[in-house]
Chain A
């Protein structure tokens, strides 16, 4: 990144929180909870196998399953079906950790990145279960591993936080600017890069000032780049495009193009992990549905949502009022990317970046698409939502794929502008899931086809072999019989030739 030129985004919407919003950027701390709930499932919905059993005593930071670490010390009382923060509203096997109140942590060594190889560092990230905290909760070690191969790597620290109602990164940067800069710098050094870009939206002036004020001369390799406030410039492919001008192809990831985007809070937890501290919490924003009032809370993974909401209600009257007036449902995630949740004993996980308290409205019934192309105009990745919609609604998944369904960010911009109020993004979520399901079942069918071919070939071969054996046996028997007759005949002949032996 030689210049800080910002490329244009082909679409997007200028969304921002209300002008008179009261955003409480103090980071409140939530007390230690009696129990933590750790779902044994990862974000691609693969069930995980625990490396511990119920009854085990564990320390904070100890790995319990791949990608799951204990948020505090205590006893694993059971593994049971429990809700998790997912739009499916399903229950999954969940480890229940009863805290012992001592809050003791496993001791890890400090990793000096100049001394050890990359594999060791990545192992540490893997064992510390570092996940992206931007909302998608990807596996950070895997992401860095993919990017590490690249010669001309660009490091982008994503502090854009473009969706209104999410301000946890903002709070983090306002409260801990020097830690943020130090951590960014450490990662940069570890990746042996001359510089890195910290991208932030220009509506976060307090955070920008805090960062700039704290930027000592040795930290100038972190370039703070302000972006215009346009949703969704914080999503990976628009961000890469804005900062580097590289347009990712459908299905291509930023790391494939040599760009590593790490969320700012993730960078901090990577840093913690390398410094030997367990990264077991995240900051969660809690807002009222009008986005007028917002507060931030540091929450350990596994904390039930209920505890978070209760804390927020106690400390913020506006949130209390919003809670009382609503149907006791909350929204997990932002106003556009999130989903409604009514199982409040589900835990907070790495992806839980924001909670919104307020009444959810059923979507309006849609009218016909008038092909006005407003949706295409705002699509940040240049798709044609109206065509995708036509394909998805008629379940023509191949056609949807041709219109690059893959590249859709599910950002919801198209929904917001559609004059026919068509639920475009819900259709795209459906089509994406259906496509994945179809690919999986096609692959399974292919395996089954080959196996069954093998099976039937073998059965056939066996049958043929059996027949041949049978034939051979019959032939042999026949021969035996023949030869027996021959002998008999010969004997008879011999008998007849020996008159003396006759009567």
Chain B
């Protein structure tokens, strides 16, 4: 006889993979809406194009691998990965590059390793890293949020259209006032050995967005979708590292709390590092994994050529997950 059960009879509240993904997406909604509101229609276009292209790509790959397309799409993992990537990239990124990102995310991030559950690297971060390395210019180009927000002026839509389709920022009227994220500015300050003034950083939506991600993360913790170990480890390690840094060079660093809120640290801690597929299994390994990500991303954002180090920190630690698992797992019982 085939294995059977009567679990359905008294329903242990099991959570399916799809419902976990749904919960995560639900918690992303407020932050995403705020981001669209502050950074303009570009974010919406990114979001739609990335998700659509990724789903399409996923379906094609599943078709080629002769697997069930339905089961692959039902769990929602690809939508979530695309969504996460959409929140990491500048609104002005041209559509052609978005599609490169989507294909990378699905094929390089997931399927070359055998699909969901088999991929060692976080697909969204694989997509991000490839985009950042391939298109450094567009990937670090952020507009002044105060100029790009208009959702109602037809002229602005036309400019977006040009920008997104023809990848030509010069056609946009605001090209002279492009600006960087606070962390980019910080880097400039540091390179010029000037002291940092917070007011010149244009911190505006970043801080609020971080708060939105934090609240989403707390929601996920409360619903038991993620566990506290990784986010707490990431944030604690990052705070400690930033504190040490601000003692060592007080002039070129931001106050710790600002530094935590202006980058992708909070978002990453709750939404990227917690990706179960690419995180280690045991509690102690997860703590070490989280702490290493926090520390590495502070080091990378200070000393590398990129303003934000989170993606690379996650990818580096993803690579060491098998090692961590081996260390902490096999001696777990003894």
Binding site for B on A (CB under 8 A): 13, 15, 18, 87, 89, 164, 247, 249-250, 289-291, 331, 335, 340, 342, 356, 358-363, 367-373, 376-377, 381-384, 386-387, 402-404, 407, 415-421, 423, 426
Question: If the complex has contacts A250-B333, A369-B117, A416-B12, are A356 and B6 also in contact, measured as CB distance less than 8 A?
Answer: yes
Question: If the complex has contacts A89-B1, A164-B10, A360-B5, are A421 and B332 also in contact, measured as CB distance less than 8 A?
Answer: no
- Asked if B3 CB lies within 8 Å of chain A CBs, one says yes
B14 touches A368 (CB 8 A): no
Once bound together, how far apart are the Cα atoms of A18 and B10, in whole Å? 8
Q: Which of B37-45, B234-242, B274-282 contacts A (4 or more CB under 8 A)?
A: B274-282
Near A by CB (< 8 A), chain B positions 306-334 give 325, 329-330, 332-334
Question: If the complex has contacts A249-B334, A367-B71, are A372 and B14 also in contact, measured as CB distance less than 8 A?
Answer: no
- Asked if B137 CB lies within 8 Å of chain A CBs, one says no
- Asked if B251 CB lies within 8 Å of chain A CBs, one says no
Determine which of A360, A402, A417 lies in contact with B330 in the assembled complex, contact meaning CB atoms within 8 Å: A402
Give 3 closest A-B pairs by Cβ, nearest first. Answer: A368-B117, A360-B4, A372-B276
A335 touches B9 (CB 8 A): yes
Residues of A within 8 A of B227 (CB): 377
Q: Which of B15-23, B195-203, B290-298 contacts A (4 or more CB under 8 A)?
A: B15-23
Once bound together, how far apart are the Cα atoms of A74 and B117, in whole Å? 61
Residues of A within 8 A of B208 (CB): none
Of A164, A363, A367, chain B has the most CB atoms within 10 Å of the CB of A367
- Asked if B205 CB lies within 8 Å of chain A CBs, one says no
Question: If the complex has contacts A363-B3, A367-B71, A370-B77, are A15 and B12 also in contact, measured as CB distance less than 8 A?
Answer: yes
Residues of A within 8 A of B118 (CB): 368
Once bound together, how far apart are the Cα atoms of A358 and B279, in whole Å? 41
**Interface 1/0 per residue, B54-82 and A, CB below 8 Å:** 00000000000000000100110100000
B14 touches A418 (CB 8 A): yes
Once bound together, how far apart are the Cα atoms of A420 and B330, in whole Å? 24
Once bound together, how far apart are the Cα atoms of A355 and B248, in whole Å? 70
A371 touches B281 (CB 8 A): yes
Question: If the complex has contacts A371-B279, A384-B281, A384-B332, are A290 and B10 also in contact, measured as CB distance less than 8 A?
Answer: yes
In this complex, how many residues of chain B approach chain A with their Cβ under 8 Å: the count is 38
Once bound together, how far apart are the Cα atoms of A46 and B278, in whole Å? 46
CB distance from A417 to the nearest CB of B (A): 6
- Asked if B247 CB lies within 8 Å of chain A CBs, one says no
CB distance from A43 to the nearest CB of B (A): 20
Question: If the complex has contacts A386-B281, A419-B20, are A335 and B6 also in contact, measured as CB distance less than 8 A?
Answer: yes
Q: Once A and B bind, how many residue pairs between them come within 8 Å at the CB atom?
A: 116
Q: Which residue of A lies closest to B224 (CB)?
A: A374
Determine which of A362, A368, A373, A421 lies in contact with B281 in the assembled complex, contact meaning CB atoms within 8 Å: A373
Once bound together, how far apart are the Cα atoms of A55 and B115, in whole Å? 65
Residues of B within 8 A of A372 (CB): 20, 276
B77 touches A361 (CB 8 A): no
Of A381, A384, A419, A426, chain B has the most CB atoms within 10 Å of the CB of A419
B276 touches A426 (CB 8 A): no
B5 touches A361 (CB 8 A): yes
Once bound together, how far apart are the Cα atoms of A420 and B281, in whole Å? 16
A384 touches B329 (CB 8 A): yes
Determine which of A368, A417, A426 lies in contact with B116 in the assembled complex, contact meaning CB atoms within 8 Å: A368
CB distance from B84 to the nearest CB of A (A): 15
Of B1, B5, B15, B75, chain A has the most CB atoms within 10 Å of the CB of B5
Question: If the complex has contacts A376-B282, A384-B282, are A417 and B14 also in contact, measured as CB distance less than 8 A?
Answer: yes
Once bound together, how far apart are the Cα atoms of A363 and B227, in whole Å? 28
Residues of B within 8 A of A164 (CB): 10
A361 touches B281 (CB 8 A): no
Residues of B within 8 A of A377 (CB): 227
16 A–B contacts from the bound complex (CB under 8 Å): A360-B4, A360-B5, A363-B3, A367-B17, A368-B116, A370-B276, A371-B279, A373-B281, A373-B282, A376-B281, A376-B282, A382-B333, A402-B330, A403-B329, A416-B14, A419-B17
Residues of B within 8 A of A370 (CB): 17, 20, 77, 116-117, 276-277
Question: If the complex has contacts A289-B6, A291-B9, A417-B14, are A342 and B276 also in contact, measured as CB distance less than 8 A?
Answer: no
B4 touches A419 (CB 8 A): no
Residues of A within 8 A of B279 (CB): 371
- Asked if B176 CB lies within 8 Å of chain A CBs, one says no
Once bound together, how far apart are the Cα atoms of A383 and B75, in whole Å? 26
Residues of A within 8 A of B329 (CB): 384, 387, 403
B7 touches A416 (CB 8 A): yes
B16 touches A419 (CB 8 A): yes
CB distance from B3 to the nearest CB of A (A): 5
Residues of B within 8 A of A331 (CB): 6
B4 touches A362 (CB 8 A): yes
Of B3, B12, B276, chain A has the most CB atoms within 10 Å of the CB of B3
Q: Which residue of A lies closest to B115 (CB)?
A: A368
Residues of A within 8 A of B333 (CB): 247, 249-250, 381-383, 404, 407
Question: If the complex has contacts A360-B6, A421-B14, are A367 and B1 also in contact, measured as CB distance less than 8 A?
Answer: no
Residues of A within 8 A of B117 (CB): 368-371, 420
Residues of A within 8 A of B74 (CB): 367
Once bound together, how far apart are the Cα atoms of A368 and B4, in whole Å? 20
Residues of A within 8 A of B334 (CB): 249
Once bound together, how far apart are the Cα atoms of A382 and B115, in whole Å? 28
Residues of B within 8 A of A426 (CB): 3
Once bound together, how far apart are the Cα atoms of A344 and B17, in whole Å? 38
Q: Which residue of B lies closest to A372 (CB)?
A: B276
- Asked if B8 CB lies within 8 Å of chain A CBs, one says yes
B281 touches A335 (CB 8 A): no
Determine which of B1, B77, B276, B281 lies in contact with A340 in the assembled complex, contact meaning CB atoms within 8 Å: B1
Residues of A within 8 A of B12 (CB): 13, 15, 416-417
Determine which of A363, A369, A373, A417 lies in contact with B5 in the assembled complex, contact meaning CB atoms within 8 Å: A363
CB distance from A105 to the nearest CB of B (A): 38
**Interface 1/0 per residue, B101-118 and A, CB below 8 Å:** 000000000000001111
Q: Which residue of A lies closest to B330 (CB)?
A: A402
B9 touches A289 (CB 8 A): yes
Once bound together, how far apart are the Cα atoms of A89 and B74, in whole Å? 37
Question: If the complex has contacts A418-B14, A421-B14, are A358 and B6 also in contact, measured as CB distance less than 8 A?
Answer: yes
CB distance from B81 to the nearest CB of A (A): 12
Determine which of A13, A340, A373, A407 lies in contact with B4 in the assembled complex, contact meaning CB atoms within 8 Å: A340
Once bound together, how far apart are the Cα atoms of A418 and B17, in whole Å? 9
Q: Which residue of B lies closest to A88 (CB)?
A: B1
Residues of A within 8 A of B6 (CB): 289, 331, 335, 356, 358-361
Residues of A within 8 A of B277 (CB): 370-371
B281 touches A342 (CB 8 A): no
